[in-house]
Every structure is written in C-alpha cells, then in structure tokens.
Amino acid sequence: MPTRRQFLINCSTLTLAAGFVPAAFFSKSVRADGLSRNRIGFDVFRDNTGSIFTVHAETAAATRLKLMVAERYQAADPGAHIAPDARNENFSVLFRRTAGPMLPQNTYVFEHSDLGRFPLFIVPVRVGQDPGHDCYEAVFNRLPC
C-alpha cells in the first residue's frame, strides 16, 4: 500500500500532466496568428461588442455567436481588496447564437476577423427561452497583463 506522501506525489504528477493535454490540443489546432491567450482581456471584448465570432467544434459545423455584453465584476465583500486574487481582472462575456448548432459546455476555438483564433471555455445560459437565440457565457478571473 502506498504511503500518503507517495499518493500525494502521484496525484500531483497526474494533475500536472492533465493540464498539458488541453494545451497540447490547442497548440496543434490553433494557429498563433491572432490574439494570444495572455492578451484576452476585458478591453478586447468590450471593444468588440456586437461583432460576430465563428466557433469551431470538433464534431459539428461551425456556430456563429454574436458578442452581446462584456461586463466587469465588482466584489460585494468589503474585505475583497485583500483577497489573494484582488488584483485579478474579473469579468464575463455573453454571446448569443445567431447560426449553427447548439453548443454544450466546453472549450472551443473562437475565430474573429480582427482578433484571429483563440480557445475559450463557454457555458450555455438562457438556453431554450427564446428559440434560436441561445446564449453562452465565459467568465474570466485572470492576472492582468
């Protein structure tokens, strides 16, 4: 039977290895001709509100999403300014499906005429409330560049 120390080392190694799988997938499928993941920030999305993004799924036809809203999060807790992530950029973006199949929660390759291609994790929200106008949200809590 492995010791606690061996168990923790094995789990840490597995977790680290699992983190490289998505990175390896996107490094092969996404050309670095657009916005790097380190530069995807609130200002970029705010400035592109209303524009169309083509979303590429592995098993379905491309879906077109319109960027509807880019909104900053404000901490409600008065002590939030001393939290470890207090300096992070916190915001969300909301897309509306304009064409193509509905997308389940997943990471997809987004393509934009000015920004290029980049991976983004989205979650369906407000699905089925207005047929043909399903919405998807991406939430960011990232270190500012």
- In total, how many domains does the chain have? 2
Considering the domain architecture, whether residues 76 and 11 belong to the same structural domain is answered as no
Considering the domain architecture, whether residues 25 and 85 belong to the same structural domain is answered as no
Considering the domain architecture, whether residues 53 and 26 belong to the same structural domain is answered as no
Considering the domain architecture, whether residues 20 and 41 belong to the same structural domain is answered as no
Considering the domain architecture, whether residues 20 and 36 belong to the same structural domain is answered as no
- The whole-chain average pLDDT of the chain stands at 75
Domain region containing 6: 1-30
HEC string for 71-118: EECCCCCCCHHHCCCCCCEEEEEEEEEEECCCCCCEEEEEEECCCEEE
Considering the domain architecture, whether residues 41 and 91 belong to the same structural domain is answered as yes
Considering the domain architecture, whether residues 26 and 4 belong to the same structural domain is answered as yes
Long-range pairs for 72-81: beta carbons < 8 A, 24 or more residues apart = 72/42
pTM value is 0.67
Considering the domain architecture, whether residues 47 and 81 belong to the same structural domain is answered as yes
Three-class secondary structure of residue 64 per DSSP: strand
Question: Distance between CA atoms of 53 and 65, rounded to whole angstroms?
Answer: 5
Q: What is the pLDDT of residues 6-35, one digit of tens each?
A: 554 554 444 444 444 444 444 444 444 555
Considering the domain architecture, whether residues 37 and 82 belong to the same structural domain is answered as yes
Percent of the chain with pLDDT over 90: 37
Considering the domain architecture, whether residues 67 and 18 belong to the same structural domain is answered as no
Considering the domain architecture, whether residues 26 and 45 belong to the same structural domain is answered as no
Considering the domain architecture, whether residues 82 and 11 belong to the same structural domain is answered as no
Length of the chain: 145
The radius of gyration computed from the CA coordinates of the chain, to the nearest angstrom, equals 18
Which tokens hold the place of 48? 């592109």
As beta bridge partners, residue 137 has 94, 123
